[in-house]
Amino acid sequence: MNIKKGLMIGLAALGFSMSANAVNVGGVVWDPDSLFDWTSVTSLVEDQLNLTPGPDFVDTLTGFGRVTTFNGESPASFCPSGCELTFEFGGFQVDTTNIINDVSGTHLGFNGGWIDFYVDHSADFDSNDHSSSVDGNLWLRLEAHEVFNAFMGDTYSIVAELTSFGAGSDAGEGKSLMDVAGGLAAGNFDTDGKADGADMVFTSEFQPLPNGGTTADGYELVGSATLSGNSIPEPTSIALIGLGLLGFAARRRKA
């Protein structure tokens, strides 16, 4: 291999590491160069807040769900092996000292929080069974990225606006920034590409279950959520091959 060819192959390998590739992580397949990369739409079941002191007091958001769309594709496309991508979330605690009511509704700020995604190769998700959302391998862990919110006048992980609150029929939407913290796909999503160096934007909307129902696990709300960010092919191995070839060409030249 001559010097020029070694350099060309090395540069090509480095370029390839940044080009469009179908990525497969744990059986979940997607194109990081898709126009919709990276977006995910989910259906979710969520616990209802209850800030009235007593045995039913709830001040922390928890819930679970399933990913229904990944980069605009259905599960048959992003889980071609028949897997499913599910998640649970929790730890988002409302600041009960700073609740703002105005003509648009009730505004709440939350601190902390996390979302864990699981890939499961036996598709058995059940909206009535929280355990069915956590019976796979940890695919991606996200942790809340707290930033100052001028409207609320404080630093929060989620700011939510509710059109109905406190009457047993919470409904509204929330938005937060999230950071990658672990999982099989962590290296593909840890990009720091959103505001304040966060990795993803998380938005959700929720309303009561039909007829005021409650799931077998005690959840009262249903809704959907969207995650948006940027994904990349796993850069390490291909980039190292490129660097290795460049080093080989450099050694040949020095020799």
Domain range list for the chain: 19-234
Whether 199 contacts 180, CB under 8 Å: yes
Model pLDDT, residue 197: 94
Instruction: List pLDDT tens digits, range 143-186.
Output: 999 999 999 999 999 999 988 887 667 888 999 999 999 999 99
Model pLDDT, residue 96: 94
Whether 28 contacts 185, CB under 8 Å: yes
236 CB neighbour count, 10 Å cutoff = 10
Instruction: List pLDDT tens digits, range 101-141.
Output: 999 999 999 999 999 999 999 999 999 999 999 999 999 99
pTM over 0.85: no
Residues in contact with 51: Cβ distance below 8 Å, sequence separation at least 6, in sequence order? 57, 58, 59, 94, 96, 166
Task: Report, as an integer, the average pLDDT of 70-77.
Answer: 90
Model pLDDT, residue 239: 37
**How distant, in Å, are the alpha carbons of 152, 167, 174, 193 from that of 177?**
16, 28, 11, 11
Model pLDDT, residue 98: 96
Residue 213 has phi, psi (to 5 degrees) of -75, 170
The token pair that represents 177 in the structure block: 């920034």
Task: Report, as an integer, the average pLDDT of 188-206.
Answer: 92
Model pLDDT, residue 251: 42
Give residue 2's pLDDT band: very low, low, confident or very high (50, 70, 90). Answer: low
